[in-house]
Amino acid sequence: MAGLVRMGPWRFVVWFGTVSLLADFVYEGARSVTGPLLASLGASALVVGVVTGAGEAAALGLRLLSGPLADRTRRFWGLAIAGYALTVVSVPLLGVVGVLWAACVLVIAERVGKAVRSPAKDTLLSHATAATGRGRGFAVHEAMDQVGALVGPLTVAGVLALTGGQYGPALGVLAAPGVAVLGVLFWLRGRVPDPEAYERELTASSDTDTDADAEADAGAGAPAPRPGRLPAAFWTYAAFTATTTAGFTTYGLLSYHLVERHLLTDAWVPVLYAAAMAVDALAALATGWWYDRVGARVLVVLPLLAAAVPALAFTDTLAWAVGGSLLWGAAMGVQESTLRATVADLVPSPGRATAYGVFAGVVGAAGLVGGTLTGALYDYSVPVLITVVVAIQVLALILLAATRTSRASRS
Q: Express each pLDDT in 173-183 by its tens digit.
A: 999 999 999 99
Helices 232-246 and 301-313 cross at an angle (nearest 10°) of 10
The reply to whether 302 falls in a domain is: yes
What residue type is 103 in one-letter code? A
Q: Does residue 396 carry a pLDDT above 80?
A: yes
- pLDDT-derived band at 369 (thresholds 50, 70, 90) equals confident
- Measured over the CA atoms of residue 116, residue 122, residue 123 and residue 124, the dihedral's sign is positive
CA dihedral 340, 311, 396, 125 (to 10 degrees): 0
State residue 1's pLDDT score.
46
- Measured over the CA atoms of residue 325, residue 327, residue 328 and residue 332, the dihedral's sign is positive
CA dihedral 37, 43, 47, 52 (to 10 degrees): 0
From the centroid of its chain, how far is CA 175? 23
Domain of 102, CATH number, reads: 1.20.1250.20
Read off the pLDDT of each residue in 383-387 and give the average, rounded to a whole number.
94
Is the domain of 108 the same as that of 236? no
Residue where a domain stops, chosen among 174, 198, 222: 198
CA distance 157 to 167: 10
DSSP annotation of 266: G
- For residue 355, give the nearest of 365, 366, 371, 342 by alpha carbon: 342
The reply to whether 225 falls in a domain is: no
Look over the chain and give the mean of its residue pLDDT values, rounded to a whole number.
84
The backbone region for 164, taken as left when phi is positive above 0, alpha when psi lies in -120 to 50, beta otherwise, is left
From the centroid of its chain, how far is CA 184? 21
- For residue 114, give the nearest of 369, 365, 356 by alpha carbon: 356
Residue where a domain stops, chosen among 156, 181, 198: 198
- For residue 173, give the nearest of 153, 156, 186, 149 by alpha carbon: 156
Is the domain of 48 the same as that of 155? yes
Helices 352-380 and 45-61 cross at an angle (nearest 10°) of 150
CA distance 175 to 52: 22
Domain enclosing residue 280, as ranges = 230-408
Q: Does residue 226 carry a pLDDT above 70?
A: no
DSSP annotation of 74: -
Is the domain of 185 the same as that of 267? no
State residue 262's pLDDT score.
85
User: Half-sphere exposure of 328 toward its Cβ, with a 13 Å CA cutoff?
Assistant: 26
Provide the number of structural domains found in the chain: 2
Is the domain of 128 the same as that of 253? no
- For residue 314, give the nearest of 365, 240, 388 by alpha carbon: 388
CA distance 355 to 271: 35
pTM for this entry: 0.75
The reply to whether 213 falls in a domain is: no
State residue 146's pLDDT score.
84
The reply to whether 287 falls in a domain is: yes
Residue 222 three-state SS: coil
Q: Does residue 136 carry a pLDDT above 60?
A: yes
CA distance 113 to 88: 9
The reply to whether 292 falls in a domain is: yes
CA distance 172 to 156: 9
Helices 318-336 and 301-313 cross at an angle (nearest 10°) of 150
Read off the pLDDT of each residue in 308-319 and give the average, rounded to a whole number.
92
State residue 252's pLDDT score.
67
State residue 269's pLDDT score.
67
- pLDDT-derived band at 318 (thresholds 50, 70, 90) equals very high
Read off the pLDDT of each residue in 138-158 and give the average, rounded to a whole number.
87
Distances (CA, A) of 313 to 257, 278, 375: 8, 18, 14
